[in-house]
Amino acid sequence: MSLDSLSSYSPYSSASAGLAADIHSLDALKRNTGQATPESIRETARQFESLFMRELIKSMREATASMKSDMFDSPTGNMATDMLDQQFSVQMSGQPGGLSDLIAAQLSKQAGLQPESFEKTPPSQTDTPLLRRNSSIAAYRANQTQPPTQPTTRQTDFVQLHTETAARIEKDTGIPASYMVGQAALETGWGQRQIKARDGSLSHNLFGIKAGPGWKGKVAEVTTTEYVNGVATRKVAKFRAYGSYEESFRDYARLITKSPRYAKVNLQDGSAHSFATSLQRAGYATDPQYATKLRRTIEATQRLQRGTQVAAQSV
């Protein structure tokens, strides 16, 4: 796209003030191509994104015309709908990371300006009441509990395989079985990513416990992802290897209940959130999102365990 290919522009058009784009007020672009500034190019890009959005909305309206109510199928109703769509197209354009940023970056190169000038849209162009309201709604929805998806066969099999062992460990240590099975599911991807030795044999290490200097047992050496200052890096690390999954559960329980490092891990209030948060705070994993992932996996495990119990009782 070149500056000459744009047939319209006005840096002081009504769209700048938040009103719907007026195509007839955009006929000055060719006269201003030799005086391109970051502000003018940014506004041009926003105008074209607005026009694009308007055509997109128009196409959506036409695609659903057969479902339109007779109440609004009138010249007055059509005009009101068109005006609303124009306003929507203006409000939706010019946001950071949108089409206007790409257009502005391309035009700036052709005009000899630095593309970096267009990486961020000024707050005044995006901080409208409508967008703030939409952002608040989006943030609210993101924080709501998402409806649980149907469990896969792998997830169901994993929970059934390890729940009995975890229940025995719970009686001995007080660590809820669902917490242990949930964390094992997170660490292994529901059994898909289990740690193996070089010869391909299973390490039975369900919790990603590394083999430090004090470990005298078998070791499995694998490449793993670690987070250093929030940046994911690949490293070769040594992990403990066990003779069975029960050994893995018992070693994990011993670590959580006996190590001073995990003395403040919350096991008693029945909250997966508290457990996951306190475990990450104690430094169990380097992934900054570990607590959130663990909470979700534990909750999924609890749903599966409840479903299994109900199914068993109905037999």
**Residues forming the active site:** 226, 251
Contact 27, 21 (CB under 8 A): no
Angle between helices 153-173 and 245-258 (to 10 degrees): 50
d(CA 63, CA 224): 49
Distance CA 72, CA 145 (A): 36
CA distances from 24 to 28, 94, 242, 272 (A): 10, 20, 76, 60
From CA 285, how far away is CA 281, in angstroms rounded? 9
Dihedral over Cα of 117, 119, 120, 122: its sign: positive
Compute the 3-state secondary structure of the chain and give helix, strand, coil in percent, each to the nearest 5.
Answer: 60, 10, 35
Name the residue among 116, 253, 241, 98 with its Cα closest to residue 183.
253
